[in-house]
Structure 1
Amino acid sequence: MSYRIKRTVIAAKRLEIGDQVNAKDIGTEAQVARLLALGAIEKAGDEAGTVTPLEMDDALRAALTNAINDLPGDAFDKSGKPKVKALQDAAPSIADRITAAARDTVWAEMQAAANAAT
């Protein structure tokens, strides 16, 4: 089973909002159950570890693209991706819809478009 992180969780490692994480990477069954009860995580996949498809409308895609284009250099992580928190701060009206999965989808599309243009 995998889970989508809804709130920042700090255990052995920090789990960021929107990340998809396998149960074994979160902790024991009791820890997973507690986090579910607290609303810090939600089920996101089946026993095989597959995740549910990301549903994203054009308005969210456009808002994320614009927010990414407007971010300052320090709003990107060491891998080069925009930080989810920075995007949420840049677009507060849709902050609750901005997840790591949404960011990754739009970021990959932007990278593909940039590579195609060169």
Structure 2
Amino acid sequence: MMKAPSYAALVVFVAIAVLVLGEGRVSMAATCDATQLTPCLGAITSNSPPSALCCSRLRSQRPCLCSYLRNPFLGRYVNSPNARKVANTCKCSRFNALVALLRFVKALHLDNRIASAPDLA
């Protein structure tokens, strides 16, 4: 029988795979270039609505989300409340779902590290 954390990690992995690979329109050879999201900067840093160009670029850069979230500079923008609003306005619900799943994986990883830490008592 699998341990609970291992089972949870497997479930999360499968969910992420479904989200990322399930989108037929997303090219597997996407070119990750954060500068392509420049048209979204105003909408992410203020309350202005995203342009059609922003939404188009956001969809094309969706496969790159994981690397952007791991980037110390870009992560704070990609993970911001305004970025989630932009994704909702652009109807990129998978973007928001992926951000939520990545947060869960990060929390699960931290929980596993704490649980496996040596007992100092």
Q: Fold match, TM over 0.5?
A: no
Q: Which has the larger radius of gyration?
A: 2
When normalised by structure 2's length, the TM-score is: 0.29
When normalised by structure 1's length, the TM-score is: 0.29
Greater fraction of residues in helix = 2
